[in-house]
Amino acid sequence: MAERRRKFVRRFLKVLAVLAAVVVIGISTVLGLLWGEHRSDLTLPAPTGPFAVARTSYDWVDQSRTDGFAPDPSQKRELVVWIWYPADPATGSGPADYMPTPWRTALANYQGPLNSTFLSRDPAVVHTHSIADARVATDQPTFPVVLLRSGVGALATEYTTFAEDLASHGYVVVGMDTPYSTSVMVMADGRVVTKTDMGNPGDADITAEEQNRRADALIPVWTADSRFVLDQLERLNDQDPSGRFTHRLNTKAVGAVGHSFGGATAAQFCHDDARCAAGIDLDGAPHGPVVHDGLHRPFLFLTADHGDKLGDVDRAIRADIQSIYGGLPQDGRFWMAVKGTGHFNFSDQSLIKDGTLSKLLGATGSIDQRRGLAVMAGCIQQFFDHYLKADPADFSATVSRLYPEARADG
């Protein structure tokens, strides 16, 4: 009996050893593959328009507002602004990094080694199509302006694909990073600012009601940021110290587009500021007075494919979208879902993060990542062509023909 027991234990230990070896080999293989992807070069989708694209950046301080999220209650609200625009390709200082070196370092320190090394591609090997600090193209006197808002926590540069594509079609695209909401920011003087729970309502371990309350408190701050940036752009248009944007911005043709909380901001900004001619919400849950007041200018809700089985939160979001959609102008209201997409198909993260893991976690859908970005970039461009450039082509018909994945949902 004792001998049989010893033999059983030996066999059991051998099996455990084999299983442990398999697990170790499996983990090592997965980490090796992730490490290989982390270091492999990635070129973002090429812009589809006729213009070369450039990018520049600014650090702007709003002297009229203090920052309620800052540790120092007297600190003024400060934003880092990124501008993509049609370029003279013969000028500039070479290719623009996807993310400047100080930002890459700060982001890696913030994320930690596992996330920054194995779960995401190194931003240093992500290649854009932008020229750094080139002159504005001279093919036409002015270009319409589009304010681009990221999702809460996301960096503005994570929407480079959309920004470059729009700029290549003759738009000045202005993204912004906001302190204590963007995951990590590097200010002009080298200060690193990271997000907080109050600046990121969805991050904290709180009830859905408390998340909504914090989001409703954050939306006027982000909307004021958009107003301030547009004010600054008007000043640049009047007199840019560098001369780059002087009299080159058509501030009478302004659009707003945003992803997630940035989409909610686009809707609220278009509600608050008469300078907004048209707006787009990319898979964002609306917040703020716009939900009840409605909106009276052209607007597009472009959402992920959430399917038919909706939970309570999804149904509440759809009800808020419907509240706004129902009051939009009959000839300027659109609500579409892109088949096979998830929430993070609406940014460069669908390419930069590991694709298999993203799909397993439900962050992205079944659509090919590049096709998903192409569909969304095309819908954004066609919408703004119609409402900011007076393109007579029917928006719905054009989208249906070019991008059958985008289907009416409202």
The span from the CA of 345 to the CA of 379, in Å, is 14
- Please report whether residue 378 resides in a domain: yes
Report the number of distinct structural domains present in the chain: 1
Q: What is the pLDDT of residue 208?
A: 82
Please name every residue paired with 408 in a beta bridge, in sequence order, or none if there are none.
Answer: 336
User: Does the CA dihedral 211-214-220-223 come out positive or negative?
Assistant: negative
Q: What is the pLDDT of residue 181?
A: 96
CA atoms within 13 A on the CB side of 300: 30
Tens of pLDDT, residue by residue over 88-113, are 999 988 899 999 999 999 999 998 87
Given this model, what pLDDT does residue 31 score? 44
Quote the domain boundaries for residue 143.
40-408
The pLDDT value recorded for residue 33 is 45
Measured CA to CA in angstroms, residue 276 lies from 162, 173, 298, 406 at distances of 19, 14, 10, 24
Instruction: Indicate whether 5 belongs to any domain.
Output: no
Per-residue model confidence (pLDDT) at position 93: 83
For residue 8, tell me if it sits in a domain. Answer: no
Residue 314 lies in a domain: yes
- Whether 335 is covered by a domain: the verdict is yes
Q: How far is the C-alpha of 284 from the C-alpha of 265, rounded, in Å? A: 9
Residue 15 lies in a domain: no
* DSSP alpha helix (H) spans, 148-204: 160-168
Q: Which amino acid is at 265?
A: T
Rounded Cα–Cα distance for residues 266 and 272 (Å) = 10
* pTM for this model (two decimals): 0.89
Spell out the residues 6+ positions from residue 61 whose beta carbon is closer than 8 angstroms to its own.
76, 77, 78, 79
CB 171 within 8 A of CB 143: yes
Query: By C-alpha distance, which of 326, 287, 284, 320 is closest to 302?
Result: 284
The CA distances from residue 307 to 162, 199, 331, 340, in Å, are 25, 30, 27, 9
Which residues of the chain, if any, have pLDDT below 70? 1-9, 12-13, 15-39, 114-119, 203-204, 354-362, 410
Element (H, E) at 85: strand 76-87
Question: pLDDT tens-digit profile of 156-182?
Answer: 999 999 999 999 999 999 999 999 999
In a domain, 189, yes or no: yes
Tokens representing 242 are 């560098």
* pLDDT score of 30: 43
| CB-neighbour burial class of residue 61 (10 A; exposed 0-12, middle 13-18, buried 19+) | middle
**Which CATH number goes with the domain that contains 61?**
3.40.50.1820
What is the distance between the alpha carbons of residues 119 and 94, in angstroms, rounded to a whole number?
A: 29
CA nearest to 47, candidates 158, 130, 110, 156: 130
Q: Tokens representing 84? A: 């993509």
State the pLDDT at residue 120: 77
Q: Is residue 211 part of a domain?
A: yes
H helices of 127-193, in order, are 160-168
Strand partners, 174: 83, 147
* 3-class secondary-structure state, position 219: helix
Q: Rounded CA gap, 258 and 272, in Å? A: 16
For 359, phi and psi rounded to 5 degrees? -70, -45
